[in-house]
Amino acid sequence: MATVLQNYINGEWCNAAAADYLDVINPATTEVLASVPLSSASDLDRAAEAAATAFKTWRRTPATDRIQYLFKLKALLDEHFEDLAQTITQECGKTLAESKGEMRRAIENVEVACGIPILMQGYNSEDIARGIDEIMIRQPIGVAAVIAPFNFPGMIPFWFLPYAIACGNTYIIKPSEKVPLTMQKVMHLIAQTGLPNGVVNLVNGAKDVVDAILDHPAIRAVSFVGSTPVARYVYSRAAANGKRAQCQGGAKNPVIVLPDADIAMTTRILADSAFGCAGQRCLAASIAVTVGDARKTFTEAIADAAQSRKVGYGLEDGVQMGPVITAQSRDRIVSAIQKGTDEGATVLVDGREPAVPGYEQGYFVRPTILQNIDPAGEIARTEIFGPVLSLIHLETIDDAIALVNQGQYGNMACLFTSSGAAARKFRYEAEAGNIGINIGVAAPMAFFPFSGWKDSFFGDLHGQGHQAIEFFTQTKVVVERWQDWSRQF
């Protein structure tokens, strides 16, 4: 019988008040790894109350003392690095190398958050008027929560968690019900740091828990990463209840290849971008736009790269791409490919016959390339979230930038070129929050914000770096007069 997962509330592991459970499935082997409870609103209420109580004392803990727990957590994450990476591969499907890269990014955020005593400092001015000083200070906002997606179970919670608690807030993690095991293990490590009870809590579940987070009066801020329709829902409901919200949505990331690009390098990088993590990431290349003479050489090269990519179980040596997360995701991706052909696209590389020896029941879709797609068609506008790359050819960089900017999303846009002038033009004109120049996955380091524009982001302040600190604090301005009481009036 599969292990039934528990919630972690107020420093204790506890059973959920759940009527239903879901199997956690290895998408490559279809092995049942665990059973996750679909917790109730009452479970979330307990976690929120515990976090609110803990906040009263945690906020008064000096920042230099708060970050000591992060130093301990960083050491524990390093110590258990291999096990955490393997867990990500088992429940999420990506290759072990990709899982290790994910955990490195998680740890980087812990390292940056250890600088909170400097990073959250305010500022002051003496004598704004005679004998009057003015000070701006940052204070924590209270209880915050993250609603995490399935595609990066180890990394994405760390875009928010370490900054929140280092700034003096308390926290609730709601991992994706598809991939709850990684955060279960992380929560065991957090408990080993000796962090006071209630500072970090974990509640498993699905929409009932999400709605409870969005409605609970004690929760002041919500972070979300997922699809655009759900991001819009979370943002609207959170805002209606007076909460801060930062909601990362979907993407349809265009990449432009100019004739002066290094085609060998470009192909290698774009194949990793489009097909890495089976295309299940919000910074995956979705559309490759060739300009002028780049068309023939790049098309041939990317087709060869797609066909030669080794697909299989991510824990096996040499595997370059794993499965997608569920059978439903696989079927949706296959349907999207068919939709593209219905709109007139031709299939250059077809990944719809994905049988992997030894893993015939796994949720695999091989790398797929569509060409001659309609730039105004649904397949060019809709996020597929799978290993599907669409090719479009245009004659000028201006036409290509216009295509980039006409889309509803603005998560990432990239350019491959040897021209500094072209790179500067693209950087200035492209309407996206994350820009890559000769980079296929423009993922910001932990000390920069993970940006996003248009329908790729709802809110103001992004995760990571300084913007995370601003999100998890509120400013207070103090105006002081200290008179010389011997003064004669």
Whether residue 282 lies in the annotated active site: yes
32 — phi, psi (to 5°)? -80, 120
Question: Does residue 483 register a pLDDT over 80?
Answer: no
Fold type of domain 7-249+456-477: Aldehyde Dehydrogenase; Chain A, domain 1 (3.40.605)
Burial of 476 from C-beta contacts in 10 A (0-12 / 13-18 / 19+)? exposed
Q: Are 208 and 54 in contact (CB under 8 A)?
A: no
In the chain, CATH 3.40.309.10 covers: 253-437
* Coil/strand/helix, residue 369: strand
Candidates 114, 167, 247, 282; catalytic one: 282
Phi and psi (nearest 5°) for 365? -135, 125
Share above pLDDT 90 across residues of the chain, in percent, rounded to a whole number: 97
- Residue 489 in this model has a pLDDT that exceeds 90: no
- Evaluate whether 456 touches 282 at the Cβ level (below 8 Å): yes
Least confident stretch, 148-152, 333-337, 350-354, 365-369: 350-354
Among 198, 166, 196, which Cα is nearest to 51's? 198
- For the chain, helix (H) and strand (E) counts, in that order, are 16, 22
Strand partners, 25: 32
At residue 354, the pLDDT reads: 79
Does position 125 have pLDDT exceeding 70, yes or no?
Answer: yes
Identify the CATH assignment for 253-437 out of 3.40.309.10, 1.10.760.10, 3.40.50.740, 1.20.140.10. 3.40.309.10
Tokens representing residue 394 in the block: 């245009």
Does residue 155 carry a pLDDT above 80? Answer: yes
Which pLDDT value is given to residue 47?
99
Residue 259, pLDDT > 90, answer: yes
Q: Where in the chain is the domain with CATH 3.40.605.10?
A: 7-249+456-477
Taking only the tens place, the pLDDT of each residue in 412-451 is: 999 999 999 999 999 999 999 999 999 999 999 999 999 9
